[in-house]
Structure 1
Amino acid sequence: MHVTAGAGREDRQLPLPYAPTAVLFDLDGTLIDSAPAILAALELAFDELGLPKQTPAELMRFVGPPLVDGFRLNAGLTGTANAEAVATYRRHYRDTMLDSPLYDGVAELVRALHAAGVPLAVATSKHEGYAREILEHAGLLDCFSAVSGAAAGDLGGRKAQVIHAAIERLAEAGADVSRPVHIGDLDHDVAGARTEGIDCIGALWGYGNPEILRGAKALAAAPAEVGALLGVEV
């Protein structure tokens, strides 16, 4: 299996297996295909709030970053209007969020890593309670030693913050966090990992692409490629 270094780095085959002491996963666009459910809830929220309609491509800008940032940057909402938009979206998202399927091969990758004794965590900007519900619905929650996400009001939901919290929780659970790696599909995954001083593997099966994932330690087209990189058979 040939897994190349991320765009902007020397094109070379990485030494296999690449052996981190713990693995962190993003959720939206990495473990689950959440965009349809998110976009449906956003459309309902925009209609209810009387906001100008946005195209599906424009609404995709909301997928990944904290919601408060999405409504501020992409709808111009601040203060109480921003808080109302987040709350309205979440009310609708509660009805759609479990309709987000796992990507093909993701369950096999997570379970293979878990069976191999690799400490696992989820680091997501999504509301932490929602993330747990989604993982439980997908049958994967028991594979993760920690789930780190945003608190009420999107507090602590930026990528570097949830990665930092996930690593802290893994350490508290007794995991070796001397060399963790984060797996994610967007530029804020790469940036958040870099802020915390850890490597990021770019998940090309999600919503990103090689250009967006510039700076990732490696790029993988499918979960099985991540398994090969990490030394487990998927």
Structure 2
Amino acid sequence: MTTQTPAVADNAGASAQSTWTCVLFDLDGTLTDSAPGIVDRIDRALTQLGRPIADKSDLFSWVGPPMLESFEQYGFTPNEAIEALDVYRGISEAEGPWSGSSVYAGVPELLAHIKAAGIPLAVASSKPEYQVAQVIEHFDLEQYFDIICGASADETVSAKADVIAEALRRLHHRGVDLTKTLYVGDRIHDVEGATAHGLPVIIVDWGYGTEAEAQGAIAHVSSAAELETHVLG
């Protein structure tokens, strides 16, 4: 995966009512409500590893950032974090990374309308790419996306800015017009990762971020219908 970004217009200050030429979406907390399943798998992984169980409300902050990073912030050494990731990944593989997840209300219709308007769509998630593809396919959303992009399998390349860079590179290779590209997410990692490439961000209120994490976004929305208005006008 590369962090080199194709040239895009300086559209960070663009109006949310602009005609977008491309829209990138986060996955967890934006397209899918995945926290119940993720938190449950983290809880069981910590139990298997003999570690103290964190309060489940605290574990919600793990949803969105790279899981390897979250284990390290919890107190694991780098090598222990890799072992913990393997345990977590084993649980996920046994049940499917979509286990305990659901698609947010109105999202399929939103994607269908944007696709019908001729605007290319992509997923750019810090979840491992093979899992992103599995989740998107499981919920029958792959028909809407030109590109599905995620972290490397070992999550060593998983920073949101790097994943977005790779998504932009692939879109550019396909000849997609990136002059007015929008990113849609729910966490501060989305805002920081997108703005690193000059992309404006819309934050969805139904995700896992706090109000403070929306700082720097051009808008925040409370429903798929409201998001559609911002994207299609």
Instruction: Check whether TM > 0.5.
Output: yes
Deviation, 1:197, is 1.0
Correspondences of 1:26-41 after superposition (within 5 Å): 26-41=26-41
TM-score (norm 1): 0.89
Q: Which ranges of structure 1 fall in alignment gaps of 5 or more residues?
A: 1-13
2:81 maps to what in 1?
A: 82
Q: Which ranges of structure 2 fall in alignment gaps of 5 or more residues?
A: 1-13
* Alignment check: 8 A CA contact 2:130 2:153 kept: no
Deviation, 1:209, is 3.4
What do residues 112-145 of structure 1 show as CA deviations (whole Å, max 9, x unaligned)? 1111111100010001001001001111112111
* Alignment check: 8 A CA contact 1:126 1:149 kept: yes
Is the aligned partner of 1:144 residue 2:145?
yes
What do residues 133-181 of structure 1 show as CA deviations (whole Å, max 9, x unaligned)? 1001111112111111111210321110111111111111121011211
Deviation, 1:15, is 5.6
1:68 maps to what in 2?
A: 68
1:98 maps to what in 2?
A: 98
Q: Secondary structure at the match of 1:52?
A: coil
Q: Secondary structure at the match of 1:225?
A: helix
2:215 maps to what in 1?
A: 214
What do residues 37-78 of structure 1 show as CA deviations (whole Å, max 9, x unaligned)? 1011101100000111101112112111011110011x2112
* Alignment check: 8 A CA contact 2:97 2:134 kept: no
2:118 maps to what in 1?
A: 117
CA distance in 2, matches of 1:50, 1:96: 24
Report the CA distance shift for 1:209/1:79 in structure 2 as closer, same or farther (over 3 A): closer
RMSD, aligned α-carbons? 1.4
CA distance in 1, matches of 2:78, 2:216: 34
Is the aligned partner of 1:188 residue 2:193?
no
TM-score (norm 2): 0.90
Is the aligned partner of 1:57 residue 2:88?
no
CA distance in 1, matches of 2:80, 2:118: 46
Deviation, 1:216, is 0.4
Deviates more, 1:53-62 or 1:118-127: 53-62
CA distance in 1, matches of 2:62, 2:222: 23
* Alignment check: 8 A CA contact 1:37 1:96 kept: no
Instruction: Count the aligned residue pairs.
Output: 218
CA distance in 2, matches of 1:34, 1:145: 22
* Alignment check: 8 A CA contact 1:114 1:143 kept: yes
Report the CA distance shift for 1:91/1:16 in structure 2 as closer, same or farther (over 3 A): closer
Q: Secondary structure at the match of 1:178?
A: coil
